[in-house]
Amino acid sequence: MKDIMGMMKAASEMKGKMEALQNELGNLVVEGRAGGGLVTVSLTGKGELRGIKIDPSLFNPAEAEVLEDLIIAAHNDAKAKSEAEMQKKMAEVTSGLPLPPGMKLPF
């Protein structure tokens, strides 16, 4: 019975940590770049698009397709950084929690 109480306490502590982590991720902003920094995309830790910066040299109508590709590449770069940061923070929150081998959070 003592083990169950310990697990319940650990789960309660983890819930608080997870809520704090969600707030922190909402405030986190990461930037992805493409084209050597000609296009920059900013995302929150939750993956919400916050801004796009485009170098004026790309405002050539003939280069529209290149610009579109660079925006996508910058977004993907920012999204990957955001997800990596989330995984890192999630590992910090769940460290020390007595989980069975192979079990990962979130489920």
Q: What confidence score (pLDDT) does residue 33 get?
A: 92
Q: Residue 30 phi/psi, 5° resolution?
A: -115, 150
**Are residues 98 and 66 in contact, defined by beta-carbon separation less than 8 angstroms?**
no
Task: Mention the CATH class of domain 28-93.
Answer: alpha beta
Structural tokens at position 64: 């529209």
What is the spatial distance between Cα 48 and Cα 30, in angstroms, rounded to a whole number? 10
Residue 104: name the closest of 90, 83, 86 by CA.
Answer: 90
pTM over 0.85: no
Q: What confidence score (pLDDT) does residue 43 get?
A: 85
List the chain domain ranges. 28-93
pLDDT tens for the chain, 107 residues long, are 567 777 777 778 778 887 887 787 778 888 999 999 999 988 887 778 888 888 988 888 888 888 888 888 988 888 888 888 888 887 877 776 666 666 555 54
